[in-house]
Amino acid sequence: MPVTKEAVIERLKTVNGPDFSGNIVDLGLVSDIFIADNKVFFSITVPAARAQELEPLRAAAERAVKAMPDVAGAMVALTAEKKGGGMEGAPPRRPAAAQPSPPARPAAQQARPAPAAPSHSTAKRGVPGVEAIIAVASGKGGVGKSTTAINLALGLAALGKKVGVLDADIYGPSMPRLLGIRGRPETKDGRILQPMQNFGLKVMSIGFLVEEETPMIWRGPMVISALTQMLREVEWGELDVLVVDMPPGTGDAQLTMAQQVPLAGAVIVSTPQDLALIDARKGLNMFRKVDVPLLGIVENMSYFVAPDTGKRYDIFGHGGARKEAERLGVVFLGEVPLEMGIRESSDDGRPVVAAKPDGPEAKIYRDIATKVWERLEEEKVAAEGADPAIVFE
């Protein structure tokens, strides 16, 4: 039978609050509860300074809900957003003597200017086994961001890299369809998710956990909670790069993701017309404000070549993204045409780089992937050399 919010709330009242003071529901620490296909999603608000210490609280709440009859799964995460439940003023508890100290940040990272965000060094912890995380973003929807992200990931894989994809577009997850993957991910020890796989990529998406037609009516903290769990409670293994298909726009969810995830860089996707470029600038500025390197701009739907005549049409204008990249001092990664084959192969669950690896469109994406990898290497060298030092040439 269907799981109800009321039943979940009653079960959560059995979970003690921090320092065993009351329960997490009465303390006002539980966010809005979202239920889809008998899977339960919510977050627990705690002080940012105590997030690592209170991880057992999150785990206890998750176990309590998973043990309920008819519950098919639970996704619970901690959030440091203040909620007026009295938790913000809770006195900090002395850490146990045996508790390990967080690892020191490399000097190169300390030398870089950090964004003004609370507990930034703790929040931006890396993902074990993942060498680099890059975001594929757009200032608005409808510019082909997800198609670009998956073909970029396949292009990186074609370079011999171990690649994963995180579908962070909570409201419109498209990776299950783009990659032709069906079914549910398995769990390890009832908690850690095993990524789905196809075309040599490891993939995780909220689309694997809820039905395609289920509306994702989530508020900001719930989005961040789900993204955090999909990022950090998935057995990614050893990856050279994790490509994150970001939600479109520059709202709270996107900004928080950029602030909390140790992004090695961001790729901006835009179409050539002025309106799309205005939104692309917002995305560029957002990443700059949180000190995320800009790897470059891709101009999608750049032009159309009529299949019967071979005549080229600049339907949305042309070259706008290239000019914008030059104006802003950002690398222009390439032009992707408005091509029927790209759309058809995506709809069939076989992205063009996998479906037609020797075709001209696949070559465009592989060239973009090569430039992105070169930019990642440049940023890595720059970060390693950011520590003040005397250099003799």
Q: pTM of the prediction?
A: 0.69
Q: Residue 71 sits in a domain of what CATH number?
A: 3.30.300.130
Residue 108: inside a domain, yes or no? no
Looking at residue 328, its pLDDT comes to: 81
Domain boundary among 64, 82, 100: 82
Residue 200, number of CB atoms within 10 A of its CB? 13
Residue 106: inside a domain, yes or no? no
Distances in whole angstroms, Cα of residue 305 to Cα of each of 36, 207, 309, 340: 43, 34, 8, 10
Residue 215: inside a domain, yes or no? yes
**232 and 312 share one domain:** yes
Domain range for 56: 5-82
**124 and 76 share one domain:** no
Two structure tokens written together for 380: 């890595």
**58 and 133 share one domain:** no
**163 and 273 share one domain:** yes
Domain boundary among 54, 82, 110: 82
Q: Could you identify the residue written with the tokens 């990529």?
A: 201
Instruction: Kindly give the pairing relationship between strand 73-79 and strand 39-45.
Output: parallel
Domain boundary among 82, 100, 134: 82
Cβ–Cβ < 8 Å for 191, 233: yes
**160 and 30 share one domain:** no
**183 and 131 share one domain:** yes
**258 and 143 share one domain:** yes
Looking at residue 390, its pLDDT comes to: 43
Instruction: Kindly give the pairing relationship between strand 34-36 and strand 304-305.
Output: unpaired
Residue 311: inside a domain, yes or no? yes
Residue 146: inside a domain, yes or no? yes
Phi and psi at 288, nearest 5°, equal -65, -40
Two structure tokens written together for 351: 């992205």
Cβ–Cβ < 8 Å for 301, 315: yes
Q: Please, which residues have CB within 8 angstroms of residue 237's CB and are 6 or more apart in sequence?
A: 129, 162, 202
Residue 98: inside a domain, yes or no? no
Residue 230: inside a domain, yes or no? yes
Q: Please give the Cα distance from 265 to 257 (Å, whole number).
A: 13
Total domains, the chain: 2
**295 and 370 share one domain:** yes
**76 and 156 share one domain:** no
Residue 171: inside a domain, yes or no? yes
**46 and 150 share one domain:** no
**179 and 303 share one domain:** yes
Query: How many helices (H) and strands (E) would you count in the chain?
Result: 13, 15
Give exposure, 244-253, as e/b (b: 16+ Cβ within 10 Å). Answer: bbbbbbbeeb
pLDDT digits (tens), the chain, 393 positions: 788 999 999 999 999 988 777 899 998 888 778 777 788 878 788 776 776 678 788 889 989 999 999 888 887 776 654 433 333 333 333 333 333 433 444 433 333 333 333 333 334 667 889 999 999 988 767 788 899 999 999 999 999 999 999 998 777 778 888 999 888 888 877 678 899 999 999 999 888 877 655 555 555 566 667 777 788 889 999 999 999 998 877 666 677 677 778 889 999 988 876 555 666 777 777 888 888 899 999 998 888 887 778 888 877 777 778 888 888 888 999 999 888 788 888 888 899 999 999 999 999 999 999 999 999 999 888 877 655 444 433
Looking at residue 385, its pLDDT comes to: 67
Torsion over CA: 84, 89, 95, 100 (sign):
positive
Alpha-helical (H) ranges within the chain are 5-12, 55-66, 107-111, 120-123, 145-158, 175-178, 220-232, 252-260, 274-289, 320-328, 340-347, 352-355, 360-384
**197 and 50 share one domain:** no
Q: Residue 223 sits in a domain of what CATH number?
A: 3.40.50.300
